[in-house]
């Protein structure tokens, strides 16, 4: 498991006291329910997938967003960071997808259960 560093802090991350395996399984199950087959790293908690959404400015245009989700260990705090990053696509559409996965009761809402002390991270 890679280690979290607050130096590279994203606005698209949240923290959890849950086991990384549970978090990864919940996200992968949700993606598969949506008929999205993610690429799952065998050595790291890293999931890549492409999600199609409507363009914010023109609802007729499909916007493919490539997303990478990493689960990182926060040193000395017994929590992990769930970090979403966009590798392709519109930022506004990506942010909508991030919020949906983070707050969805059927996906990752359970895991968004703690904060960290940035002074220690």
Class of domain 6-111: alpha beta
17 vs 11 pLDDT, higher one? 17
- Separation between Cα atoms, residue 32 and residue 35, nearest integer Å: 5
The whole model's pTM is what? 0.86
- Separation between Cα atoms, residue 114 and residue 106, nearest integer Å: 18
Cβ atoms < 10 Å from Cβ of 37: 11
- Separation between Cα atoms, residue 66 and residue 88, nearest integer Å: 5
CA dihedral over 112, 16, 93, 33, signed as positive or negative: negative
Q: How confident is the model at residue 92 (pLDDT cuts 50, 70, 90)?
A: confident
Q: How confident is the model at residue 82 (pLDDT cuts 50, 70, 90)?
A: very high
Per residue in 32-75, pLDDT tens?
999 999 999 999 999 999 998 776 666 666 779 999 999 999 88
- Separation between Cα atoms, residue 46 and residue 67, nearest integer Å: 10
So what's the pLDDT on residue 75?
84
Q: Which residue has the tokens 């690429």?
A: 39
């Amino acid at each position: 498991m890679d280690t979290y560093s607050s130096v590279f802090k994203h606005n698209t991350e949240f923290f959890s006291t849950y086991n990384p395996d549970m978090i990864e399984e919940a996200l992968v199950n949700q993606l598969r329910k949506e008929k999205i087959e993610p690429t799952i790293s065998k050595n790291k908690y890293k999931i890549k997938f492409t999600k199609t959404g409507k363009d914010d400015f023109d609802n007729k245009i499909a916007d493919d967003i490539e997303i990478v989700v990493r689960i990182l260990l926060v040193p000395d705090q017994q929590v992990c960071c769930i970090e979403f990053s966009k590798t392709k696509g519109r930022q506004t559409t990506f942010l909508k997808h991030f919020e949906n996965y983070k707050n969805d009761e059927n996906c990752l809402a359970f895991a968004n259960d703690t904060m960290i002390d940035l002074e220690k991270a």
